[in-house]
Amino acid sequence: MLLYFHGSLQSGNVARNFTGRTFDDMAAARGVRLVYPDGVDRHFNDTRLALRERTRQLGVDDVGFTRAIVDWLGVESVHACGYSNGGQMVMRLLHDAPGLLTGAATFAATMPAENNRLPDLGSALVPTPYLAIHGTADHIVKYDGGVAGLDPAHTRGELISARASAEYFAQANGLGADAHTQYSPSPGVLVDRWDGAAPVELWSIEGMGHLVPTTTPRSPRTSSRTSSASDLPHLLINAMADNCRIG
């Protein structure tokens, strides 16, 4: 099973259209059951202390919600990916439900700084294959870290950089600096990989903003220079499926 957690102000149906059904195609090709959970009031109760949304005010148990989905469907191999707020939800599952996921991937999401993490956030004790995809031109969740949000009135607190976030999960998976390699599978793409039983990869996409790369071109308002390149989305989808052992 693959869980796709949507971003802020989205829903499962919006996410499906936002990604051009790219994940539906991947799931069908690999014989994977795909699930789009809906967050309460279009948000998930994620890792960040500075999440000023109704789901936090209500104390919604999205970890329990995810466990209930898994139990209801009766599957043993559970993968999760998420965009932005949904990516933060995937990170929370790695910490507060260690061992639940077989593999994990995030888009446009990095770990909160220590002063912006939930005080009762657990530990990523069970090594889990993990892939992060991040655009260097992301103005909401900045590639180099800092305060995240659309504007000063709607901030989500401080986040660490994409590279530091990947290193955090590599360390959690027991992967040291000697496991690190770097390569470029396509122009404008740099991959940092920590190899091991539970590998970690960071795909840095030059010039891409706060997006999920898809196989369907977006409108000029949301597209970026590299997100609609003909081969890049396929490379990324295959990397996610292979690194997270989907299908």
| Structural domains of the chain, count | 1
Q: What is the pLDDT of residue 221?
A: 33
Distant-in-sequence, close-in-space partners of 224: CB < 8 Å, separation ≥ 6: 135, 137, 207, 208, 209, 211
Q: How many CB atoms lie within 10 A of CB 45?
A: 25
Report CA 55 to chain centroid distance, whole Å. Answer: 19
Residue 43 neighbours by CB under 8 Å, 6+ apart = 8, 9, 51, 53, 54, 55, 85
Domain span at 227: 2-243
Q: Can you tell me the distance from the alpha carbon of 191 to that of 193, in angstroms, rounded to the nearest whole number?
A: 6
Strands 155-159, 34-35: pairing is: unpaired
Report the Cα 158 to chain-centroid distance in Å.
17
Q: Can you give the pLDDT at residue 228?
A: 40
pLDDT confidence of residue 47: 96
pLDDT one digit per residue (tens) for the chain, 247 residues:
999 999 999 999 999 998 888 899 888 888 899 999 999 999 999 999 999 899 999 999 999 999 999 999 999 899 999 999 999 999 999 999 999 999 999 999 999 999 999 999 999 889 999 999 999 999 999 999 999 987 766 789 999 999 999 999 999 999 999 999 999 998 999 999 999 999 999 999 999 999 998 776 553 333 333 334 446 667 777 787 887 787 7
What's the pLDDT score for residue 238?
79
CB count within 10 Å of CB 37 equals 20
Q: Which residues pair with 104 in a beta bridge?
A: 80, 130
CA diameter of the chain: 45
What is the number of other CB atoms lying within 10 angstroms of the CB of residue 247? 14
Beta bridge partners of 82: 5, 106
Do 209 and 226 meet the contact criterion of CB atoms below 8 Å apart? no
In the block, residue with structure tokens 């996921």: 101
Question: What's the pLDDT at 241?
Answer: 80
What pTM does this model have?
0.92
CA distance readout (Å), 66 to 4, 13, 101, 124, 230:
11, 18, 11, 17, 34
- In sign, the C-alpha dihedral spanning 224, 48, 125, 72 is negative
CATH of the domain at 206: 3.40.50.1820
Nearest by Cα to 165 from 210, 212, 206, 105: 105
